[in-house]
Amino acid sequence: MATHTGGLTGDAQAVRIEGLVRSFGDRKILDRLELSLEAGEFVALLGHSGSGKSTLLRALAGLDHEVEGSGELSAPGDVSVVFQDARLLPWKRVLDNVVLGLTGAGARERGRAALAEVGLAGREDAWPADLSGGEQQRVSLARSLVREPQLLLADEPFGALDALTRIRMHALLRRLCEAHRPAVLLVTHDVDEAIALADRVVVLDAGRIAADVRVELPAPRGQGSPEYAALRGRLLRQLGVELDDGEPVGIEPGGRGAAPAQDRGAAPAQDHGPEVDAAVGADGDPRAAGRRTGAVTDGPVAAGAAATGAAGSGPAATRAAGSGPAGGGAAASSAAGGGPAGSGAAGDVPASVGPAHGTPDGADGGAPAVGSRAAEVSRA
């Protein structure tokens, strides 16, 4: 049976996965998967819906109880999760959301310092409904990193934000990771986002690693360089995306051919600033700011994860792949003792988080999670 061992420290590998298998009934989602992350390494995970990305993140977070499986999985005991929606508790103020679950002297001071680090000093007493989508996601990052995790799992954390806010959040996440140095596994459907942020880009296909590419582009990674274009094209081809006149074409979940971009309405610009101007002007092409490629939706890491996002904080237990409920099964507010949890989507008023589920990747035919975007491509 697969084990989940905590306590990796120092310069050792932060994550080691050998022969990992995860199955739901007759369907094998992860098929003898092999993957490792070094301490402090940033890895982006690309793949179609149903390829096993969210199943892998659930396994690393220790949230896949009662799922059939085998293999070996070693991860740190201190794990935090950042979701696509911020999952803030609407009845708690910003600072209380950040320190939710923290104990000991100085917890609130640590929370204030974390908010200052993400540019929200002075907003400690604000309500989540008073924040923009980008600000809510900043609170979510502060809540995860205030715990100083050794492993940060991010499941499309910027997918619900508008294009310019995503650019600013990219710069913020890079800065935070350089300061805190957790190992990071980021699930994204945006090839440009993966190249901009990661040390390595891994492509998952049919439950196995189909490509593992180290990003060796110099910073800042401007999209105008031939090296950038070559890497981008290589990853798109690995995902089965054909290029049409130099621009990517959207693909349906599972790579069954070209699908038209779906216009679900433009999200309002949020929380912009100097970092946006710098990012847009990095290669002299303002159109590159919002380009998304091969965006295919996938399910959340686990709808039943604790609202704090610190899914694996504390020593991790050694457990078999077949114990406990799949996917958690509790609403996101369970960490606070019940009640509806805030969803922190891109709008100003948090939507409620629906009931949790343990549905495997793509088992429902690839239906997108609430707040996620269907296959889309934004053209300049």
Residues 137-164 pLDDT 10s: 999 999 999 999 999 999 999 988 999 9
Distance CA 275, CA 156 (A): 21
Phi, psi of 45 (to 5 degrees): -115, 115
Q: Tell me: pLDDT of 107 over 50.
A: yes
- SS3 label, residue 109: helix
User: What pLDDT does 188 receive?
Assistant: 93
Average the pLDDT over 71-76 and give the result.
Answer: 91
Q: Tell me: pLDDT of 369 over 70.
A: no
Q: How many structural domains are present in the chain?
A: 1
Contact between 135 and 120 under an 8 Å Cβ cutoff? The reply is yes
The pLDDT confidence band at residue 131, using thresholds 50, 70 and 90, is very high
- SS3 label, residue 185: strand
Token couple for 361: 């990747």
Q: Tell me: pLDDT of 167 over 70.
A: yes
Average the pLDDT over 29-57 and give the result.
Answer: 93
Count CB atoms within 10 A of the CB of residue 8.
21
Token couple for 203: 């492509």
Average the pLDDT over 327-340 and give the result.
Answer: 37
Q: Tell me: pLDDT of 302 over 50.
A: no
The residue ranking higher by pLDDT, 310 or 223, is 223
User: What pLDDT does 187 receive?
Assistant: 94
Helices assigned H by DSSP within 87-186: 94-98, 107-117, 133-145, 163-180
Residue 350 lies in a domain: no
User: What pLDDT does 245 receive?
Assistant: 54
Token couple for 73: 């999985």
Residue 212 lies in a domain: yes
User: What pLDDT does 225 receive?
Assistant: 87
Q: What is the CATH number of the domain that holds 180?
A: 3.40.50.300
Residue 134 lies in a domain: yes
Token couple for 59: 């396994």
User: What pLDDT does 224 receive?
Assistant: 83
Question: In which domain, by residue range, is 129 found?
Answer: 38-64+76-322+329-336
Residue 205 lies in a domain: yes
Distance CA 75, CA 92 (A): 31
The per-residue b/e assignment along 320-353, b for 16 or more CB within 10 angstroms, e otherwise, is ebeeeebbbbbbbbbbbeeebbbbbbbbeebbeb
Q: Tell me: pLDDT of 260 over 70.
A: no
Distance CA 109, CA 345 (A): 27
Q: Tell me: pLDDT of 92 over 90.
A: yes
208-214 and 200-205 as β-strands: parallel, antiparallel, unpaired?
antiparallel
- Cα distances from 75 to residues 305, 306, 315, 363, in angstroms, run 17, 19, 10, 26
Contact between 376 and 258 under an 8 Å Cβ cutoff? The reply is no
Token couple for 274: 């100097």
User: What pLDDT does 362 receive?
Assistant: 44
User: What pLDDT does 244 receive?
Assistant: 65
Contact between 135 and 127 under an 8 Å Cβ cutoff? The reply is no
Helix (H) or strand (E) holding 81: strand 79-82
User: What pLDDT does 247 receive?
Assistant: 54
Phi, psi of 217 (to 5 degrees): -75, 140
Bridge partner residues of 248 (DSSP): 243
Residue-averaged pLDDT of the chain: 72
The pLDDT confidence band at residue 218, using thresholds 50, 70 and 90, is confident
Residue 368 lies in a domain: no
Average the pLDDT over 252-267 and give the result.
Answer: 40
Q: What is the pTM of this model?
A: 0.64
Residue 345 lies in a domain: no
Distance CA 122, CA 116 (A): 8
The residue ranking higher by pLDDT, 259 or 63, is 63
The residue ranking higher by pLDDT, 289 or 271, is 271
Q: Number of helices (H) and strands (E) in the chain: give both, helices first.
A: 8, 12
The type of residue at 227 is E
Residue 227 lies in a domain: yes
- SS3 label, residue 310: coil
Average the pLDDT over 192-202 and give the result.
Answer: 95
Residue 30 lies in a domain: no
Token couple for 251: 């693909």
Average the pLDDT over 169-183 and give the result.
Answer: 93
Distance CA 17, CA 72 (A): 6
